[in-house]
């Protein structure tokens, strides 16, 4: 087994565990973007979000919701950025799907996820219609 998050899920690499269920482990990110940055991972290996069985995806979200409540209750977080880096193109470095839960505070200066996208495409209403139709399949 070479996957670092599989090793953490198996207890072969130590982690600062925050929550655990039969399907999911949540632990502190070792290089936090903000104090209390948590990673929520399915125990069963899946590289990408779309690779997870729905039961694991649902279980990850359930645990993320619990973590969000704890971040505001125990650490006084005022908000959170909740994000998947899904795929290398999106900056995913560990190839085992994981949901970042990053606590936020008013005035922390980091902005929304929208701040990542500095060159936004101009999209007309007909183009939006066409894209939505493609996505509906």
Active site residues: 98
Edge-to-edge strands of the sheet including 38-42? 17-20, 24-28, 38-42, 99-104, 79-84
**Segment near ligand AMP (CB under 6 A), from 26-34, 71-79, 105-113, 120-128?**
26-34
Map the footprint of ligand AMP across residues 72-131, applying CB under 6 A.
85, 91-94
| Nearer CB in complex with ligand AMP: 39/80 | 39
Nearer to ligand AMP (CB atom), residue 91 or residue 129: 91
* Dihedral Cα 93, 99, 37, 43, nearest 10 deg: -90
**Smallest separation (angstroms) from ligand AMP to the CB of 42:** 14
Give me the half-sphere count of Cα atoms (radius 13 Å) on the Cβ side of residue 52. 23
């Amino acid at each position: 087994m070479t996957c670092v998050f599989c090793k953490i899920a198996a207890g072969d690499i130590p982690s600062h565990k925050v929550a655990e269920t039969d399907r999911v482990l949540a632990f502190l990110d070792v290089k936090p973007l903000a104090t209390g940055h948590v990673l929520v991972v399915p125990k069963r290996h899946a590289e990408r979000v779309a690779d997870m069985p729905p039961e694991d995806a649902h279980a990850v979200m359930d645990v993320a919701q619990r973590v969000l409540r704890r971040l505001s209750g125990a650490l006084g977080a005022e908000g959170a950025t909740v994000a998947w880096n899904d795929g290398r193109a999106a900056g995913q470095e560990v190839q085992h799907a994981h949901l970042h839960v990053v606590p936020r505070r008013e005035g922390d200066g980091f902005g929304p996820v929208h701040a990542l996208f500095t060159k936004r495409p101009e999209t007309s209403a007909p183009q939006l219609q066409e894209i939505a139709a493609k996505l509906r399949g």
